[in-house]
Amino acid sequence: MSFVFLMLQDAPVPVLSLCELCLSRVCWSLAQLCDSRADGSLRLRRAPCLPTETADQLLHKMTVEGLLNDRTVAIFRDSKALRLRRAFIRGGPVSPGAFRLALCPHRLQDLDASRLAEGQASGAEVLAALLTNPELTSSLQRLSLAGLQLGWDPLGPDGGPSLQAVGHSVRAVGGFSSLRALRTLNLADTGLTDAALEEVCSLPLLESLDLSRGAVTSLAPLLGCRATLRSLSAHGLHGLRRQPVVMPTAHGVPSVLIRLSQLRHLDLSDDRFAANDVPCDSSEVDEVVQRLLEGAPDEEGAPDEEGLILPALVSLDVSGRKAVTERAVRAFVKARPSLVFLGLLATGGSACEVLASRENLKVTGDADETQVCEALRRYKERECFLQEALVLLYNLTVDLSTPRQDLLQLVLAGMRSHPSSLQVQLVASACVFSLTTQDLAEAMPPRLLAAAVDQLLLSMQSFPSHAQVQKNCILALCSDYILLEISFNRYLATKLVMTWLSSHDDPTLQKMAVAIISVLVAKLSTEETTQMGTDVSIIRHLLGVVQQRASLGVVDNTLRFALSALWNLTDGSPAAGRHFVQCQGLELYVEVLESYCSEPSVQQKVLGLLNNLAEVEELQGDLMEEDLLDYVLSVLGDPRVGVEVRYFAGGFLAQLSSRPKAWTLRQELLETIHQQLHLTVMTWSPAEREMVSYRCFTPFLPLLQTSQPAGVQLWAAWAVHLVCSHNAPHYSPMLQQEGVVLLLEALALHPGTHADVHALAWLTLHLVGARQQARRAPTGPPHKE
């Protein structure tokens, strides 16, 4: 089953197929589906005989999900049930032994073992393992060892394949000549030497070769496969430039390349274009480029009958070569009507008018968006070119007003390809911001936005001390839609933004960072909030923000967001409450209460946090300050103050006055609180909106006991009724599970319950659909306390 697509907003949005979903589930359930061998590796407990394509997809899925390692790859040792033909293990941490045991028993046709994790199998070790299976050597047609060191030596003493121990590594010698079926070979970034190239070029069926960034000093061996070679990538061969011309002209770089008459694709790009000290226009390769573009004949051999060099060529990449001129580009394109690709990024020649007249011609360059996008697609593995293309894209999207998910996908692909490149992550994170700013994010597929956030968080982790990377990521994250609607690791995001906040004081970014933290903390699970609250540094830094803004006497979003974050962090977290008190937060909040007495938004958040502290029995002693309680009592009874503030004042007082044995202040004050709670709550009209939300109702259980004073019961019953009246389907199961319904029923049935409490309890039970017990309450008016 292949990928399926849904058409949303006129753009194809990839949707995982059932097969993809099942494979993902299998990958993440291997521990449950497998037994362990004596060596610790996994073996499927019941291995079905999967189709080859499905087995290939399973290995690929394990790799891209980051689940491939020596232990998990061992499930493929069963080559009868899980038969592989195309093995993709790119970047996986697989050792030589695990590779040999798991993958070499299969008759592979295609193997991508490029860029295996550092310290794992080398290119020579992979090759040596392949040679252990004669059937595999005759079936393998495509092989990529890009990024792996070959450690190549000349042939062994007998002139055939051999293994030699060199230091602590094993070098495969003479191995490529045994892979007689190879048609495609990628040896980019392998340190390929002249001796190795000589052997590679002896392969009888070789059609495609990538020897980029190798250590070769001569391309003469390529003449050995010129009858079959159709595609050659040879960029970054800087050793060729340093070699003096001591060979005959027929073996020089220009003559060799021009005699590869069957070539259809040739890559001679130069990714050192940005280095001013590199003479890019004086090498032998530049001479080849000039001849190709201008159509000059070869000194050693005449061009074809139409006067073209490499007449079969339909794809040429010369990006980064500064000597390219528009005149040469114009001549080249006009002479080749079958041309399908021309790489001209960072050459200065991509604005040639003839390029736009060829509909089927793909061009990488800087002339327009189409060329830039083509560069992003083609060069995602080329760090220097990718960076250049991202800079161009950013300049194109600064004032973007139309959602472009296609561009965002290209940017994310580049970020994934170079997670450790500062320059790529710097420019790419800026592009993500410009592509998701304001209303653009809401038009993007949620799964794509989630992937974008994951990449931003990875960038923040990789470059914690780089101010601009952190700034770009924070700017991109500061979106209500992303923070509230998109699924991602909010706990990690909170930690990363908090880390940045603790070491920077830029006012604009501080405001954004605090806003992000405020929103994220509210979305964390109870467990995550508790874990976050155990970090005293987080509480200390947020209190520092509050103190800074309060000392200036300002009422701004930074202050409000910091107060909200602290409120949510202390919700249901005794550890966070203790840290708050230890960091002198209580003293600061008392000052804020008095200083901002006319600011309802500030008062609400401060009193909300004090509610959280009052719910923790061990912290109630710290709150027994008569001046504080007198002030909060005055707020509760002041009709000029809105219900959204008085509600939290009532909750704070209800919690502190609900435990008479712990009360350490005047008894008259306790009685006054109970009376004022009752009088005030009865004046509150039903709220038009949900003022508060609760993760659990455990703190209400002591307040709803039949032994509590009516004022305490009334505040708690009003609070439960408030949230149920706005979202009963959400809260009803919680009330049932946590025992609140039982307590409300008990209040409704108890003869000593005050009439006001009884009525409110009955109304709440009616809302949650639990009226059976309440109907058995006495028909007459209950006794008033």
At 288, is the pLDDT very low, low, confident or very high (cuts 50, 70, 90)? Answer: confident
Q: Tell me: pLDDT of 402 over 50.
A: yes
- Which 8-state DSSP code applies to residue 404? -
Lowest mean pLDDT segment, chosen from 518-532, 683-697, 703-717: 683-697
Q: 50-88 burial, b for 16+ CB within 10 Å, e for fewer?
A: eeeeebbbbbbbbbbeebbbbbbbbbbbbeeebbbebbb
The CB-based long-range contact list for 365-368 (8 Å cut-off, 24+ gap) reads 366/392
**Quick one: pLDDT at residue 15?**
61
At 10, is the pLDDT very low, low, confident or very high (cuts 50, 70, 90)? Answer: very low
The whole-angstrom separation of Cα 76 and Cα 66 is 17
Per the prediction, the chain carries an average pLDDT of 88
Residue type, 37: R
The whole-angstrom separation of Cα 449 and Cα 426 is 18
What are the pLDDT digits (tens) for 442-461?
999 999 999 999 999 999 99
Average pLDDT score over residue span 499-510: 84
Average pLDDT score over residue span 233-250: 66
**Quick one: pLDDT at residue 7?**
34
> Which conformational region is residue 268 in: left (phi greater than 0), alpha (psi within -120 to 50 degrees), or beta?
alpha
**Quick one: pLDDT at residue 296?**
55
What are the pLDDT digits (tens) for 581-616?
999 999 999 999 999 988 999 999 999 999 999 999
The whole-angstrom separation of Cα 308 and Cα 263 is 13
**Quick one: pLDDT at residue 693?**
87
* Residue owning tokens 């390529």: 222
The whole-angstrom separation of Cα 739 and Cα 656 is 22
Give bridge partners of residue 163 from the DSSP assignment. Answer: 172
- Which 8-state DSSP code applies to residue 520? H
Query: In what helix (H) or strand (E) does residue 303 lie, and over which residues does it extend?
Result: none
**Quick one: pLDDT at residue 322?**
87
Q: Tell me: pLDDT of 273 over 90.
A: no
Q: Tell me: pLDDT of 297 over 90.
A: no
**Quick one: pLDDT at residue 2?**
36
Query: Which residues are within 8 A (CB) of 427 and not within 5 positions of it... i.e. 6 or more apart?
Result: 387, 390, 391, 394
At 267, is the pLDDT very low, low, confident or very high (cuts 50, 70, 90)? Answer: very high
At 106, is the pLDDT very low, low, confident or very high (cuts 50, 70, 90)? Answer: very high
**Quick one: pLDDT at residue 534?**
87
- DSSP states of 29-45 as a string? THHHHEEE-TTS-EEES
Average pLDDT score over residue span 497-525: 89
Q: Tell me: pLDDT of 695 over 90.
A: no
**Quick one: pLDDT at residue 1?**
34
**Quick one: pLDDT at residue 304?**
52
Give bridge partners of residue 230 from the DSSP assignment. Answer: none
Lowest mean pLDDT segment, chosen from 282-286, 528-532, 568-572: 282-286
The whole-angstrom separation of Cα 205 and Cα 194 is 20
What are the pLDDT digits (tens) for 716-742?
999 999 999 888 889 999 999 999 999
Structural contact between residues 437 and 404, judged by C-beta atoms closer than 8 angstroms: no
Cα three-residue angle 704-710-714, rounded to 5 degrees:
60
**Quick one: pLDDT at residue 119?**
79
Could you tell me the pTM of the whole model?
A: 0.84
What are the pLDDT digits (tens) for 140-165?
999 999 999 987 544 444 444 444 43
**Quick one: pLDDT at residue 779?**
41
The whole-angstrom separation of Cα 511 and Cα 690 is 26
In this predicted model, which residue has the larger pLDDT, 251 or 216?
Answer: 216
**Quick one: pLDDT at residue 306?**
59
What are the pLDDT digits (tens) for 362-383?
999 999 999 999 999 999 999 9
**Quick one: pLDDT at residue 276?**
54
- DSSP states of 711-756 as a string? HHHHHHHHHHHHHHHHHHHHHHHHHHHTTHHHHHHHHHH-TTS-HH
Average pLDDT score over residue span 192-213: 95
Highest mean pLDDT among 166-180, 418-432, 518-532 belongs to 418-432
**Quick one: pLDDT at residue 567?**
94
- DSSP states of 326-374 as a string? HHHHHHHHHH-TT--EEE-TTSS-TT-HHHHT-TT-EEESSSSHHHHHH
Q: Tell me: pLDDT of 300 over 90.
A: no
Q: Tell me: pLDDT of 773 over 70.
A: no
Lowest mean pLDDT segment, chosen from 72-76, 117-121, 528-532, 776-780: 776-780
The whole-angstrom separation of Cα 494 and Cα 557 is 18
Residues above pLDDT 90, as percent of the chain? 73
